[in-house]
Amino acid sequence: MTPQLTDKYMVTIAERLTSAYARIANAANNAKRSSNEITLLAVSKTKPSDDIIAAYEHGQRQFGESYVQEAVDKIAQLHTFSDIIWHFIGPIQSNKSALVAANFDWVQSVDRVKIAKRLNTQRPADKAPLNVLIQVNISAEEAKSGCSIEQIPELAEFIDHSEQLTLRGLMAIPAKSDNPNEQTQSFEQLQTCFDKLKAQYPHIDTLSMGMSNDVEAAINTGSTMVRIGTDIFGTRT
Ligand SMILES: *Cc1c(COP(=O)(O)O)cnc(C)c1O
């Protein structure tokens, strides 16, 4: 089933992936952290399965998707690549939660109890619990998704008590900024939330922040997972 890929095509994604790993290693080094602490999530939304295979063949295993139906189709196409770890990172509508619960390993965009409850009920019993990040809206006036900082404790408690969910940490998509100081300010808010949550739930280990535009600021502020799309797969149309 593997489609034929031209060498040129494969080199492109492989080279971009190599650059992304190097960028993470460099940012970790500057922040005096080990790059082993930071996972690269390759965000493949809108990109064809061939692109995912090219990244997979270069060693990438964790992929992020934002649109449920598109993602479910690709996960089915790629089912023989059984060690891919799929992360859902887009907004979750109630009527799509069952597909998310059945097909993904992680969900990074849980922002209300109603959705957490549905995911817990709908997660198939024969699968390991779904790994969950709470999405926090740290620039309230701009973004539409994410819970407020004040809502984190209630949501965390609910997830922690749900048998088919495992609380792993927090995720945020701050308002886009090209100013590193502004980027850092947003990330510091999330880091503070994460530290507080970890004091109560010591097993949590994932602070998902940083995208193509702000990897350095995120890693400098404690990110353990950066989500990179454009820099690996090219611009989206
Ligand atoms: C699209 C997306 C990304 C990747 O963004 P790039 O700027 O292309 O790196 C990361 N996180 C989320 C939640 C996204 O929706």
**Each residue's pLDDT tens digit in the chain (237 positions)?**
444 555 555 559 999 999 999 999 999 999 999 999 999 999 999 999 999 999 999 999 999 999 999 999 999 999 999 999 999 999 999 999 999 999 999 999 999 999 999 999 999 999 999 999 999 998 765 557 899 999 999 999 999 999 999 999 999 998 888 898 989 999 999 999 999 999 999 999 999 999 998 999 999 999 999 999 999 999 998
Ligand 1 within 6 A of CB of 229: yes
| 120 CA → ligand 1 middle, Å | 26
Contacts of 60 (CB under 8 A, 6+ apart): 17, 40, 42
Ligand 1 within 6 A of CB of 230: yes
Indicate the residue type of 99: L
Nearest to 119 by CA among 59, 183, 163: 163
Indicate the residue type of 115: I
Global pTM?
Answer: 0.94
Ligand 1 within 6 A of CB of 44: no
Nearest to 104 by CA among 114, 117, 89, 125: 89
Going through 11-73 in order, the beta strands assigned E by DSSP cover: 39-43, 62-65
Beta partners for residue 40, in sequence order: 226
Ligand 1 within 6 A of CB of 17: no
Residue extents of the structural domains in the chain: 7-233
Ligand 1 within 6 A of CB of 91: no
| 230 CA → ligand 1 middle, Å | 8
Q: What is the CATH number that goes with domain 7-233?
A: 3.20.20.10
Helix (H) or strand (E) holding 132: strand 130-135
